[in-house]
Structure 1
Amino acid sequence: MVKERSINPAQAQRKAEKAKAIKKGKAEAALRRNEKLARRNPDRLQKQLDDLKALDDSGTPLTSHEKKVRESLEKEIRAVRQARENFGDVTSKLGRGTQQPEVERKKYIQLNKNSEISGKRKREDESSDDSDIPEEVKDIPMPRDTPPPIPKAALDKWYEKQRARKFGAPNQARKASNANLLPVSDKKRMLGRASHISDSSSIPTPQIAAQIVYESKPIIRDLLKEAVAFVPTAVKAKLDRSKGIRTLVEPEEADQLEKEGYRTKAETLPETSTHNISGDSL
């Protein structure tokens, strides 16, 4: 008989609640993402994309940054339009990023006319009491919180200079604009300093000769001397034995060293003569 599997109801309840919370969190995150995308203005993004496409169609090569901007704009436009279709136009409901109606704005200015703060600029409906302001200046409206956008002609001119500099513009105009690269004659260098030259400056100052001369030469190594200086331990021991250093050489050993090339006949003759003399004396 198969034993039934025990089920913990508390654990099952916790799993169900956890799955429900995860599902709710994902739904809220998707809702916030769609709401954020729906607030964006696709017309403004489309205008930027059209400007980049027109620039590319004119034959001007786009930079890598402009290509990335174009790709991101295409993705953003598709996402914003999809979010507006799914979520709806929420800009009028939320009121964020939209200007106040003209009637409410004028009412707010009229109510806060008397409670103005010193140093705070006035809005367009408020009149200035300063009598020293000219009439033509009074007609100029005060700027809002954000500065006006840069004209497209100025931006195109700036981008054109950047592209010309990046894609191999002639260096003559750049060199001519650098004052440090222009040659200056001696007369122009002395101009402006002639009035400050005193009579004592006409006396030539003695030139002190340099006392230290630094030279740099290559270090030439004598490889033959270095090779001769290196003697293996076994060879050095046989050389010392052939010369009789710290030991006495027997005739058999002397003959063996002579055969190996460590000892010559001129070196063996004096030793044999000394051995004979000592033998005769004995």
Structure 2
Amino acid sequence: MSRAHAQGPVVVGVDGSDAAIHAVKWAAVEAHARKVPMKLVHVIDTENDFPFVADDLEEEEAFGRAALKTAREAVAAEDYTVDVEVELLRGRVNRAFVDLSEKASLMVAGSVGTGFFARMVLGSTALSLAQHAKCTVAVVRGADGSPVPPTSGPVIAGVDHSDSADIVVGAAMQEASIRHAELMAIHARRRRGSHEADEEARARIDRLIATWGAKFPSVQVETVIAAAGPTKHLVALSASARAMVVGSRGLGGLEGALLGSTSQSLLYHAQCPVIVARSRVVVP
């Protein structure tokens, strides 16, 4: 991520749901800590198979404006020092949010919604952002299907052997610093390993932590090498985590390829906010 890109807004999808309001409040902490503005966006899907008639479009626009007003008031109630812009767009939902990611520092969506957005946020829209956004993406949720994100527990970084490990550790260190949380860096083996392989993995993670720790010195870090498969282990840990940070693609992945299986599974099953790190953190 370039320094100019890092100063882009935190963009939040707003659909009138409680989940969106919780995502907005969560994102306000990010924007305040990063010293960047927020952009609250509602998209009217005018490119689906059922075109709007004039009265329907007017009703959708009124709903969108009301949802954005409520979201803006939610930020104001938190009393954060952050500039807030609202935008009502027409078009295809997925494309609109991916386009917005071009100039954003972070894209944020709630885990559940109402109407059309409810069917999309854990399907096409969230997955499209996680796969194709030009910045880091956060899907905000709580435990047992609740839209309320947790306020305690460590930030967990799922670290593998891919080239994205540096991006993941940096994003996780930043998130832990923002949330005043400890960081747990997890490397979960996919298959039976050896003591030597485990020590090699630990050493690699420790080197990354040492590099990023110099930039986020207040963050306390624990490194864990787990025998369980990464998906199973990370989903279990998510029940007591503040947030979980993973890479945007798996081992051997190419730019623009589908999400790695672990990251995709966490988007559906984790019980805390899931942050799919796509951009290297830029620290002033």
The bucket for the TM-score relative to the shorter chain is: under 0.3
TM-score, normalising length: structure 2: 0.22
TM-score, normalising length: structure 1: 0.22
- Find the structure with the greater CA-based Rg: 1
Bigger proportion of residues as helix: 1
Q: Which has the higher contact order (CA 8 A, sep 6+)?
A: 2
